Amino acid sequence: MAEGFRVTYATMSADNEELHKGYEEGIEQAKAQLGGTIPIVVNGQERPGEGPYELNSPIDGTLLAHVSQATRQDVEDAIASARGFAIEWERTGWRKRVELMRRAADLITERRNELSALMALEVGKNRLEALGDVEETADLMRWNAKEMEDHQGFNVPMQAMGAPGQYYDVMRPYGVWAVISPFNFPMALAGGPSSGALVAGNTVVFKPAHQGALLGYKLYEVYRDAGFPAAAFHYLPGRGSVVGDAIVHHPDVAGITFTGSYEVGMGIYRSFASDYPKPVICEMGGKNPTIVTKHADLDKATDGVMRSAFGFGGQKCSAASRVFVEREVYDDFVTRLKGKTEKIKVGNPLERDVYLGPLINEDAVHTFEEAAEEAKKNGNVIAGGERLTEGEHAKGNFVQPTVVEVPDDSWIWKRELFVPFVAVAPFDELDDAIRKANDSEYGLTAGFYSEDEAEIREWLDRIEAGVVYVNRRAGATTGAWPGVQPFGGWKGSGTTGKAGGGPYYVTQYMREQSRTVITE
Ligand code: NAP
């Protein structure tokens, strides 16, 4: 990849020959690895697990790997090993852990072409999205390491009062931390939480998503090759309802980071604590609104909405799915958005000029078809609305990027669809638009387009979301970057009010111990 050319989610285009040449080499490296078996890894030992499943590409069904599924015994052994090593890992000290984490981040950067090509094959991300996910993983690791270093391991002298001695406050890890990740950021949302937990001194048991096990295994390899001790990180692929459930309900798991749907996340949130409270970080779904007023630059607004509604096929928790546009500019906005949507190239995401790859599976296509049906019956399809089944689209889960109008009471305004599908509606009063934007159980991201200072202030003060953007062409609601836009949700989108890649993230993986050591 070209020196100095850095792909983030705000990268608008990559007319960069070196970048593409590197990525194409990555495709060759990736393809050479397909068809093998991915094992369980407990304490550095590969295990066969049980009932391997076929991991196929959503692009054309190609067999990527046979993935072993962890047994209950594998889960037990991994947690026992992680628990047994916890004190030693804490005693290793934050400086060493920071050094190892930085080495892991650098390995990811070195391997980015191969990793992003594998990601395109596993989940269908286009080039820029896949490179972004891989680079984000490295930057989340670097961010978490920097937080530990900036705070010198969170060891703070306190006031001495009374007998002479040492009076200090230290943040200490919880012990065994579980990380359960979703399919849509198979590297960043496995690497971000696990790096936070590890650098803070916890040992980690990790379960990737069913359709994310390949990149999950690659993350394990990165930690191994960076020199992390075998007992610090255990890789446990398998079904969420079996392996995930066994991890969540194990009494020796001290804390958990889950990223995924509201339904599963709320179940974990409610049931994770056993005899006493335990920290639970759940990052969940979104139904992210964008408001466009008559004072907006419509070219910027339609670029931003188009990118956030259709980037990775709407399969982002931060996807823009509800857009409210002031009536005076509504028709103009809709015409421009329709034009940009219809130009999107849908196809094999490994190809250079493809923006929209396949949906993750047949269930997602079903959701798309259900939503399109609702719009055709009760509203109006402005662009798209169909599944694509001909030619290069025949073997994968391809659909058209879709823009619809539906009545206020349609379920499309409420349900997270996770497909390339956005609803638009006109509004007359900003007050009403903000009220509608906030009328959701979710509160993850939100976008606003207006060149009017007073409107911007009003919106910033009232919008209920953890990550908000004003006048952003690179994405109305998507594209947060570690250290730039901390990422976390309010309301039904997140349990902690703290954000990944931000200043309050890593402390969640530790608890305070106030120490008084009298020396007289
Ligand atoms: P999901 O179906 O909820 O699965 C997430 C993870 O949980 C997977 O590893 C899954 O395993 C596992 N799981 C499923 N049932 C479980 C159970 N009963 N106990 C323990 N683990 C269980 O979500 P997804 O479809 O992978 O991801 C999409 C969702 O994630 C969307 O709702 C999206 O908004 C959300 N998301 C949120 C954020 C954020 O930062 N807020 C970021 C990305 C995605 P299997 O794959 O084996 O079922």
Residue from 184, 287, 308, 485 whose mutation best tests the ligand 1 pocket (most atoms within 8 A of CB): 184
Could you tell me the CA-to-CA distances from 312 to 12, 150, 183, 337 in Å, in that order? 14, 35, 12, 17
80-113 pLDDT, tens digit per residue, is: 999 999 999 999 999 999 999 999 999 999 999 9
Architecture of domain 18-284+497-518: 3-Layer(aba) Sandwich (3.40)
CA 463/CA 461 separation, integer angstroms: 6
What separation in Å is there between the alpha carbon of 263 and the centre of ligand 1? Answer: 9
What separation in Å is there between the alpha carbon of 210 and the centre of ligand 1? Answer: 9
147 contacts: CB under 8 Å, gap ≥ 6: 199, 503, 505, 506
Q: What is the pLDDT of residue 2?
A: 42
Q: What is the pLDDT of residue 483?
A: 97
What separation in Å is there between the alpha carbon of 258 and the centre of ligand 1? Answer: 7
What separation in Å is there between the alpha carbon of 284 and the centre of ligand 1? Answer: 8
Max Cα–Cα distance, the chain, nearest Å: 83
- Which numbered atom of ligand 1 lies nearest the CA of 261? 32
Residue span(s) of the chain under CATH 3.40.309.10 come to 288-481
Q: Quick one: tokens of 520?
A: 């007289």
Ligand 1 within 6 A of CB of 261: yes
Positive or negative, the CA dihedral 251, 253, 256, 260 is negative
Is there a catalytic annotation at residue 283?
Answer: yes
Supply the Cα-derived Rg of the chain in whole angstroms.
23
Q: What is the pLDDT of residue 324?
A: 99
Residue span(s) of the chain under CATH 3.40.605.10 come to 18-284+497-518
211-223 in b/e form (b: 16+ CB < 10 A) is: bbbbbbbbbbebb
Q: φ, ψ for residue 103 (rounded to 5)?
A: -65, -40
Q: What is the pLDDT of residue 433?
A: 98
Could you tell me which CATH number the domain at 288-481 has? 3.40.309.10
Mean model confidence pLDDT for the chain: 97
479-495 pLDDT, tens digit per residue, is: 999 999 999 999 999 99
Could you tell me the end-to-end alpha-carbon distance of the chain, in angstroms, rounded to an integer? 61
Least confident of 9-13, 38-42, 489-493: 9-13
Ligand 1 within 6 A of CB of 13: no
404-455 pLDDT, tens digit per residue, is: 999 999 999 999 999 999 999 999 999 999 999 999 999 999 999 999 999 9
Is there a catalytic annotation at residue 282?
Answer: no
